[in-house]
A and B are shown apart, each in its own frame.
Chain A
Amino acid sequence: MDRRKIEEGLFKALMIASTLIILSSLVLILTTVIVKGVPAMNLAMITQTPKGGFYLGKEGGILNAIVGSLYLATGATFLAILISLPVVLYLNVYAKKSSRIITFTRFSLDVLWGVPSIVYGAFGFTIMLFFGLRGSLLGGIIAVALLVLPIMTRAMDEVIRMVPKELLEASYSLGATRLETALKVVVRQALPGILTAVLIAFGRGIGDAASVIFTAGFSDFIPYSLLRPAATLPLAIFFQLGTPFPEVQDRAYASALILTVIILIISIASRILTRRFTRHVVK
């Protein structure tokens, strides 16, 4: 056999092996979380807040962290939509094509996308010090909103860019203003993509720990106001795993399972939503 063919076969085998290694790392992570998490799961975990001595192995659950995380991720996602949707509409509807501001904003957001979440946390913390805030739900929301902003904006930007220019021109020729075109034509056309972007951002927000460690505080109670500290799932996992008690560590595995399931649901939901809403899109 030709030496060239042998070399090709060898590399092809290596490639398939690497692909399998990478995919099996995903399978390994998911099975580990399930195998360790399921036995430690019980109803109290998701229906109760921690009772006294929870972190010593006494009764209770992590409802505070589940609800805290949902509040926090919802608030942050909402805040991020309020900023990123106008930005994306400006870039794609209002700004003149090839204007400096488009290139600059896209570049700046791409760079921002790479900033580690701990830096967002620390920056959020400096903002809070500036306004005299303490670790609270609001602080966490601000830090996580900043963290997901570039992810959401760039994801929306990618889909809104794909909206055919003819559609905009048709709308203008009927006498619509740019604002009306943006809200009633562009947003509707790109809705599936926008929803996917929102869900991606939500998933990222709910799973991030480093940005809330400075900003959201931690509490055994469900926060009832924006200015109360809020527990979050990732931090609950981290703290539980850090205790020396095996029964509390087991709870960390159960909590990790809950978080992973939430992430999986979000990821599947975004796929289904995309498919369902694409029906209304003008092709």
Chain B
Amino acid sequence: MRNPYLPYPVRIDEIITETEDRNLKTFKFVFLDPDDEGRFAYRAGQFAELSIPGKGEIPIGIASSPTETGFVKFTVNKVGLVSSFLHNMKVGDIMGIRGPLGNSYPWEVLEGKNVVIIGGGFAFTTLRSSIVYMLEPGNRPKFKDIHVIYGARNPGMLLYGDELAAWERRDDIHMHITVDGTDDPNWKYNTGFVPTIADQKAPPADPDTYAIICGPPIMIKFTQPVLDKLGYGHDQIIMSLEMRMKCGIGICGRCNIGKDFVCKDGPVFTLAQLNDMPKEY
């Protein structure tokens, strides 16, 4: 059995500065051994440990979609030691990726369903992976209506601007982009917090409608009552959690909520599952 702590060596192929505050950058990695790409087969919603020798590892959601080949992408917020160092690395640098880790969004359940994606701020990465995955021509017929409600503080803080604009132009996905506020006279989308826009735009509850929510705790706190009001069952509200992690494989012991490890049993849980777990996250 392969050593689960040994990362696959990768080369940084491209770095995109995503936001106007330059705190979010997307890193596109190419595997040094092309066969490692097959070993890294992943599903939307999983994460990986980005491994920088001499600095350490950070658990980051996979922003690329399994339908995109030849590379993997991660969007990283500059926060601590490893992410700050990564932000100063350059194209061509060698590092490692360990994964894929964790469960994923429940794609078997979501097939044949309406999917409502609700995201805020920089927690849009695995949601981007999910959207690209569902919009792949071979996959799109497997899903019914797709709604996306995505917000950031202002237009300059939205991730993946070009893709958002491209999705806006499509008729097989309902985009509801919003910003908390802006003085840009050319802003043509919504203005308002994500929970407010969700209240206005989210489709009504239906046994065939599932919501995936990813965002800062404050957004989740105020979005949940909106979905409750709309009548979404707690089995139909899917969330992805964050925790401090080290091993990523349920062994090192720190990321538990009750008896479940966020790294291995999660990071994706339904609200119904979270209701039965201690409120310690």
Do A and B form a real pair?
no
- Interface residue ranges, A against B (CB under 8 Å): none
